[in-house]
Structure 1
Amino acid sequence: MNPSLKAVVFDLDGVITDTAEHHYLAWKAIGDELGLPFTRSFNENLKGVSRMESLRLLLSLSKEPLRFTEEQLEALATRKNELYKRLIMEITPQDALPGIPELLDELKRRGVKTAIASASKNAFTVIDNLRMNDRFDCIVDAAQIRNSKPDPEVFLKAAELLGVEPEACVGVEDAVAGVEAIRAANMASIAIGDAAAFPEADLVLPSTGELTVERVREAWERKRKA
């Protein structure tokens, strides 16, 4: 591993484990309650987005303007989160995405720090259910920041807590907003997904199963040479 690379900062949903289905089911329940045509396709717009912004996107599906007070919006968002929290209690260590446990172990062996940078307020619960607490040096979730992705705050906060410069980090994401946040933080970026969706990423991989120390190094080198 290049000695100048000091840390890898991971998004949670879709990178460490796939909680997208849990989010979808919880938002779908709220959408059904409000009579909104919430679909799996539309759910893709909510990836990497804060809970309140996700709610506003959901409400935009209404043909007629929906008027809610801030208190009512908070209540809807809270209800969605309670549904989601019940669903994620079913997560077990077997729900870690392919290659992730092995990658984390290898990074630790090489002395590279690791962190979670998540838009979720339930990141600690998910990591606890995955039994991965000892695999990350720090976890930054939505409760610790003011600005959601694509603002770089969550990644910058992770670097700060790790005690490393952002330029010494590689960020891993599966959402466009997340990759934008990584780039804005001046970190090397790895996107998980369709290459066509991430033209700005330093490296795009189709799945976490291909995310190895060697590919992390590749993204790092590409960023340095750019």
Structure 2
Amino acid sequence: MKQMKAVIFDMDGVISNTVPIQYETNLRLAKTLNISFSREWNQSLQGLSRRKTVEAMIEASSSTFTEDEVDEICNKKNYHYRELISQLTPRDAQPGIREFIQELANHKIPMVIASASQNASFVLSKLELLSFFQGVVDVTTLKRGKPDPEIFLKAADIVGVAPAECIALEDGEAGLTAILQTEMFSVGIGIEPFMKNADYYVESTSKLTLDGLEAVLNKHQRTIR
């Protein structure tokens, strides 16, 4: 069987329970733009960069802004978000994800973060999970954000593993779209219909186990340990 040598994680909604925080931050921006905002729209924005998120919300409004003004909106949005995530504790990790990460670590399987968030390392440190990861992709170095696969390919490069030997986990449509453009084994998480396009699909992180992942990989003539 083909050995899978690394696991790449999205963060928001996969490792951290920060999607509600993102919703609150985006809702605040929506109110200033005088547009309606829903949790469904918030979910569809998962995986996009801060600027792409702001630009999408501005586009839905009747407002126009200069580039400098958009930069200022992005900065204010991030300031508010940082205020909220500063209150995170290890209890804010997604259900079962700490145990799953620990299982991978016990088997010495390298793990990397491929998150669109520039605050990924800070969030992981608040959850006391940062030390488990061999690297976090620096999104400021990317030429293209999700749904382009660049971030996942860079994550594989961090640990020197070929994409075809990586497993990648996502809960956002943009991120899963990116993974599906690579040779990585994709894991979709959540109740969004698009997640079922992944090679392996679970409704919740609480369903993620090493044994369960291994069983599915075996059906694809692959193994992780």
Please give the range of the TM-score, normalised by the shorter of the 2 chains. Answer: over 0.9
Contact 1:37 1:61 in 2 (8 A): no
Query: How far apart are 1:166 and its partner, in Å?
Result: 1.0
Whole-Å Cα distance in 1 between the matches of residues 59 and 126 of structure 2?
Answer: 33
Partner of 1:183: 180
Shift of 1:15: 0.3
**Structure 2 counterpart of 1:206:** 203
1:75 Cα deviation (Å)? 0.7
Q: 2:105 matched to 1:108?
A: yes
Q: Distance in 1 between matches of 2:194 and 2:209?
A: 21
Contact (CA 8 Å) 1:123, 1:141: kept in 2 or not?
A: no
| Aligned pairs for 1:103-182 within 5 A | 103-182=100-179
Higher alpha-carbon deviation: 183-192 or 34-43: 34-43
The offset of 1:161, in angstroms, is: 0.6
**Alpha-carbon offset, residue 144 of structure 1:** 3.2
Residue 67 of structure 2, aligned match among 54, 62, 70: 70
User: Amino acid of the residue matched to residue 83 of structure 2?
Assistant: R
Q: Tell me how far apart the structure 2 counterparts of residues 219 and 117 of structure 1 sit (CA, whole Å).
A: 23
Q: 1:216 aligns with which of 208, 213, 218?
A: 213
Q: Following the alignment from structure 2 to structure 1, what is the Cα–Cα distance between the partners of residues 78 and 96?
A: 28
2:21 partner amino acid: H
8 Å contact from structure 1 (residues 6, 164) kept in 2 = yes
Quick one: which amino acid aligns to residue 84 of structure 2?
L
C-alpha offsets along residues 124-159 of structure 1, whole Å, 9 cap, x if unaligned? 110111111211111114223221111111111111
- Determine whether 1:8 maps to 2:4: no
Q: Which residue identity lines up with residue 9 of structure 1 in the other structure?
A: I
Over 3 Å counting, the alpha-carbon distance change for 1:183 and 1:41 in structure 2 is closer
Larger displacement relative to structure 2 (129-138 or 190-199): 190-199
What is the rounded CA distance, in whole Å, between the counterparts of 1:43 and 1:78 in structure 2? 19
Residue in 2 that maps onto 1:97:
94
Q: CA deviation at 1:204?
A: 0.7
Structure 1 unaligned segments of length 5 or more: list them.
Answer: none
Q: Does 1:54 align with 2:53?
A: yes
Partners of 1:160 and 1:41 in 2: how far apart?
33
Q: Distance in 2 between matches of 1:112 and 1:200?
A: 25
1:17·1:96 contact (CA, 8 Å) conserved in 2? yes
Q: Is the 8 A contact 1:150 1:178 kept in 2?
A: yes
What is the identity percentage for the equivalent residue pairs of Structure 1 and Structure 2? 36
User: How many angstroms apart in 1 are the aligned matches of 2:117 and 2:38?
Assistant: 21
Return 5+ residue gaps in structure 2 as ranges.
Answer: none
Match of 2:39 in 1: 40
Equivalence for 1:22: 21
- The letter of the residue matching 2:67 is E
Which structure carries more relative contact order (alpha carbon 8 Å, separation 6+)?
2
| C-alpha spacing 1:25/1:6, structure 2 compared with 1 (3 Å) | same
Residues 164 and 184 of structure 2 are in contact (CA less than 8 Å); yes or no, is this contact kept in structure 1?
yes
Amino acid of the structure 2 residue aligned with 1:177: A
Q: Is the contact made by 1:22 and 1:84 (CA closer than 8 Å) also made in structure 2?
A: yes
Cα deviation for residue 36 of structure 1 reads 1.8
Give the SS at the match of 1:198. Answer: helix
- For residues 37-60 of structure 1, what are the alpha-carbon distances to aligned partners after superposition, in whole Å with 9 as ceiling and x for unaligned? 222232122111111111121113
Alignment coverage as a number of residue pairs? 222
